[in-house]
Structure 1
Amino acid sequence: MKIGVISSTEVCQPVLYHLASKRASVSLFYAAAPEAAITKQVVSFCNGYHIPIVLETTKEHIYEWIRNDQPDIVFITGYGLLLNVNGLGSLKYGVFNVHFGSLPNYRGPSPVFWQLKNGEKTIDVCIHKLTSKADAGPVVWRKSIANEEHHNYTFINQYLSNVLVEGVDFILNCLPGGKLMEFPQDETKAKYYSRPLLKDVMINWHTMQAAAIFNLCKACNSWNWGAITSYKGAELKILDATISTGQQNKEPGTIISVEKNLVVACLDGSCSINFMNLNGIFFPGRYAGNFGIAVDHRLGG
């Protein structure tokens, strides 16, 4: 069986490694990532494991690759464009999209961000058949992992890139015997989330409870280098925080202490800020006072 993988991020590497280690016939169509270093890393990885790789040159290149390579099945993981299903031709086993989110509840290009921001108890990875509507095809495999306190955006993406190997194996084992079951999505429960905008990554101290701030920090670490607030007009990004539910009589956003950590009043208690990024300078909360951050001043004011 000839297997094609389409991607534009390094999340494709675990499944490529797994398939190559089994001596499967696998090739990669890769749309260069914005960071040149990532593209270089993926190319070096493929060359090292003798995996054929084709780099995208135009938006139509992918359809040419399908015609020339003629894979029996294609898996898409981390590819940013919605493909013309008809333009992909008739593959023996079809095209499957890997989605790092619960379907149909978290459709869209950034499901990990929104699941973390919304404080979901579990994070899902689904594999569904590709259709003309984004993330709407019937689901053939899914798995949930617990949303732990130490999880963040980058960790989840790397972790799920390894979990999806299990799903790819499941599909490849089921297909030859016609045993792969399809589960249509419930459109009444469908919700589409767009890529996060500036307003989605900013802390509003007057409306967000401590748990919501904690969740936002997880969702913004490390792709955005933290959830955004400000201090005396300078951008301050929070990468890690701890929740404290003790009642405070301070206005939300007010700095309570800088002695052992940076502690800030919230609507329903306080947040202990463990690690932050002030105008590109990264430092732990215990050094906040050394950077001029003082008690009774406000964040976001």
Structure 2
Amino acid sequence: MGNMKIAVVCNSDSLAMPSIQFLKEQHFLAGVGIPKKSNTVLLNALQTIGIMPDSIAVFSTGSWREDMENWLHSLSADAVFVIAFPWKIPAYILNIPLKGFFNFHFGVLPKYKGADPIFWQIRNMENHGGLFIHKMNAEIDGGPIVWQKEMAVIPGETYTMHSMRIGYEAVEELKLLLDHMDRDVLQENIQPEHQGLYYHKPGTEQLKIDWQKQSSREIEYLVNACNQKYGGASTFLRNRELRILEVSPVDMPPIPEQPSGTVVHADVLYGLVIACRGQEFLKINVVHMQEGYLSGAKLFSMGVGIGEQLI
């Protein structure tokens, strides 16, 4: 394999670090660029894998375009790999490297264009996501696909668990991508027409549990999608917000049907069990409140009892 120089711009530790580490170890890495707003987390993660500060460009919100342009000219990188970068890169910057910019999109394209496909795929109970690498153009996530790999969404997997696993799986695809680039046999496939489902990060409403409309399975997947990046799925108890980080389905003996969101069982051993639609039930395992991270049993010991309502 030749001596290509690859720059990486990223805004994720779990998704990006395995690939960056591989590029460094194989002497491909020309440099790494990150947003200043994330430098506390990312600088530490980069230094942990041996990337020193003089190899890292930190881009400020107001001047990042000019800074990135100057940085790329100084590196003379053959290509730039983009992993979860938050800003739309203008065309004049995309044209700087000889081989172009390639976005590592951890979601099925074109169905899951836009921000945070991992969240939406887990929330929507998809059986699989994927790594879709496309050559970037002026359209967000709209360039031709040059590599794709289906990746399973494992039942019970949280957002962070999924991100870490597919971050490591991506390295094997990266090896193949580099080989095709080096031999100049990379094929570009125009994306089929598709409206796409989501283009924005989830907002407050998308993170909130709707006990009246969502099934127990839908609630469980929402909780998993919110753990840990979004701090848990939101609900309210006694006019105070709870962020639920883990639930599990449970069977209950026949009881009179209760409104969804009602606490139907509470004790020190099993904690809290909540009624859902269709006589299904979820046990609350972990929540986050102002007091800290608490188990369902701890909520019971704090006085939460049968008949109380989550809304």
- TM-score class, shorter-chain normalisation, is over 0.9
- Quote the offset at 1:279 in angstroms: 2.9
In the alignment, which residue of structure 1 is the partner of 2:275?
A: 265
Mind listing any 5+ residue stretches in structure 2 that lack a counterpart?
Answer: none
Q: Does 1:194 align with 2:200?
A: yes
Matched position secondary structure for 1:186 = coil
- Quote the offset at 1:112 in angstroms: 0.7
- Quote the offset at 1:25 in angstroms: 4.1
In the alignment, which residue of structure 1 is the partner of 2:16?
A: 12
Segment drifting more, 131-140 vs 87-96: 87-96
- Quote the offset at 1:280 in angstroms: 4.4
1:92-135 C-alpha deviation (Å, 9 max, x unpaired): 22210011111001011111110011010112121111010001
In the alignment, which residue of structure 2 is the partner of 1:59?
A: 64
After superposing on structure 2, the runs of 4+ consecutive aligned residues of structure 1 that deviate more than 4 Å are: 46-51, 245-248
Matched position secondary structure for 2:43 = helix
Matched position secondary structure for 2:281 = strand
- The two structures have a TM-score, normalised by structure 2, of 0.89
Q: Are the aligned partners of 1:9 and 1:78 in contact in 2 as well (CA < 8 Å)?
A: yes
1:206-233 C-alpha deviation (Å, 9 max, x unpaired): 1111011001000100122210101111
- Quote the offset at 1:46 in angstroms: 6.3
Residue 295 of structure 2, aligned match among 273, 284, 289: 284
Distance 2:240 2:275 in 1: 19
Matched position secondary structure for 1:258 = strand
- Quote the offset at 1:195 in angstroms: 0.8
- The two structures have a TM-score, normalised by structure 1, of 0.92
- Letter of the 1:250 partner, please give it: Q
Q: How has the CA–CA distance of structure 1 residues 195 and 293 changed in structure 2, closer, same or farther, with 3 Å as cutoff?
A: same
Distance 1:146 1:168 in 2: 18
In the alignment, which residue of structure 1 is the partner of 2:40?
A: 37
Mind listing any 5+ residue stretches in structure 1 that lack a counterpart?
Answer: none
Aligned-pair Cα RMSD in Å? 2.0
- Quote the offset at 1:271 in angstroms: 1.0
Q: How has the CA–CA distance of structure 1 residues 40 and 25 changed in structure 2, closer, same or farther, with 3 Å as cutoff?
A: closer
Counting only pairs closer than 5 Å after superposition, residues 71-110 of structure 1 correspond to structure 2 as 71-110=77-116
Distance 2:260 2:64 in 1: 48
1:242-297 C-alpha deviation (Å, 9 max, x unpaired): 12466760011110011213100001211111111233421122232112211011
Q: Are the aligned partners of 2:94 and 2:100 in contact in 1 as well (CA < 8 Å)?
A: no
Distance 1:50 1:18 in 2: 18
Q: Are the aligned partners of 1:16 and 1:26 in contact in 2 as well (CA < 8 Å)?
A: no
1:183-213 C-alpha deviation (Å, 9 max, x unpaired): 2111135333311110000011111110110
Taking every aligned residue pair, what percent have the same amino acid on both sides?
25
Distance 1:155 1:250 in 2: 34
In the alignment, which residue of structure 1 is the partner of 2:224?
A: 218
